[in-house]
Amino acid sequence: MSEPSRFDRGHTDDLMSFLAASPSPYHAVANAAERLEKAGFRQVAETDAWDGASGGRFVLRGGAIVAWYVPEGAAPHTPFRIIGAHTDSPNLRVKPQPDSGAHGWRQVAVEIYGGPLLNSWLDRDLGLAGRLTLRDGTTRLVNVDRPLLRVPQLAIHLDRSVSSEGLKLDKQRHLQPIWGLGNDVRDGDLIAFLEAESGIAAGETTGWDLMVHSVEPPAYLGRDQELMAGPRLDNLLSVHAGVAALAAAASGGAELTSIPVLAAFDHEENGSQSDTGADGPLLGGVLERSVFARGGSYEDRARAFAATVCLSSDTGHAVHPNYAERHDPTHHPRVNGGPILKVNVNNRYATDGSGRAVWVAACEKAGVPFQSFVSNNSMPCGTTIGPITAARHGIRTVDIGVAILSMHSARELCGVEDPHLLTRALAAFLEG
């Protein structure tokens, strides 16, 4: 049998469509849910009683989704195989009083979310997306996906020091985008505009969670189109791969010995401490209710969790050709070299030797190459939902992902082969 192609253009095209359609965590989970519904999954409400029937289900909560597939005849103590990811990305988010302006410019007041590369948001055509909450408590997604806002950079003639001393941005003063002209600040103007855009009656919106996004679409890049540039690769690349892997596991005909799960959380970029974050109760509650719905006891729950494994999938750093000294000298992950296994002995990543063996088995089963990532000893290491998941639930967890450049930029860069390779490895992992 010939080896499958490392590059599935259809898969990468689909990833690009998913990125473009998901400018906020709320859009990302809505798109993930739509794909899972087409694969036979159905949504269940947390307020309803759950049954123990086999099949695929998912729960939506804000910007998070947990989906799982119960095989026929699964015992209450059947372990889970979990893909963990996150839906949020660093960006600029609208403040509670959004209408601002000065000197004839109308602006939108924004707050910094997570740790974005601030300069990457300058002089970019920006849209606005998120959700509006109405008086009756329902929510509506909104997406103005056209040039609406812009954060203009100061001309070099007015700051000659930028060439010698570098760009210095004050988060409060220098990052407020403009969106029009006017000499007065009209309270409620932005929300009224979004109501009109969304077909909502004026004055019906009482709450909002809004963020800016670059309207430039994802694109293939390079002489041979070996690269892909796009927004929110960190970490919608993993969410997309997880959805595809879960759908494949549910419909692939393999005899599953575990219950495959996708848990895509919100708020990873600012610490995961929310009801939709990895440090919240969402995942544990879903897993426990699945055990109990199948007639299980606390003993069954303990047995299931003890044999459960989670792959925490998040983007990592490819070696940067202009800053190679910032990387560990013996670990230089390259794009299109396969997904990466992330290791940190201080538990900023959750991988240990036994977890590595799980990952190796999945990659070997899928015929997928992989690389190892470890930080330069002189550099502080980032972290993921992996250690949080391991500590909160007592679940063996392994940190993996895809190596990219320009992490936390408004527009990031990956290799075109790696998303498909990651998906194949995740699918093999879920199949056990």
DSSP string, 80-131: EEEEEEE----EEEEEEEEEEEETTEEEEEEEEES---GGGGBT--EEEEEE
Identify the sign of the CA torsion 218, 26, 120, 157: positive
Query: What is the model's pLDDT at position 1?
Result: 33
Query: What is the model's pLDDT at position 184?
Result: 83
- Report the C-alpha gap between 15 and 240 in whole angstroms: 7
| 37-56 per-residue burial string, b: 16 or more CB within 10 A, e: under 16 | eebebeebeeeeebeeeeeb
Query: What is the model's pLDDT at position 5?
Result: 55
The answer to whether the predicted template modeling score (pTM) of the entire model surpasses 0.85 is yes
Query: What is the model's pLDDT at position 163?
Result: 86
Query: What is the model's pLDDT at position 368?
Result: 97
**Integer angstrom CA distances of residue 40 from 35, 54, 72, 283:** 9, 12, 15, 21
| 3-class secondary structure, 393 | helix
For 280-325, the pLDDT digits (tens) are 999 999 999 999 999 999 999 999 999 999 999 999 999 999 999 9
What residue ranges of the chain have pLDDT lower than 50?
1-4
- Report the C-alpha gap between 396 and 351 in whole angstroms: 9
**Integer angstrom CA distances of residue 223 from 133, 226, 322:** 46, 8, 19
- Report the C-alpha gap between 107 and 153 in whole angstroms: 14
Query: What is the model's pLDDT at position 7?
Result: 74
- Report the C-alpha gap between 110 and 94 in whole angstroms: 4
For 339-373, the pLDDT digits (tens) are 999 999 999 999 999 999 999 999 999 999 999 99
- Report the C-alpha gap between 246 and 261 in whole angstroms: 7
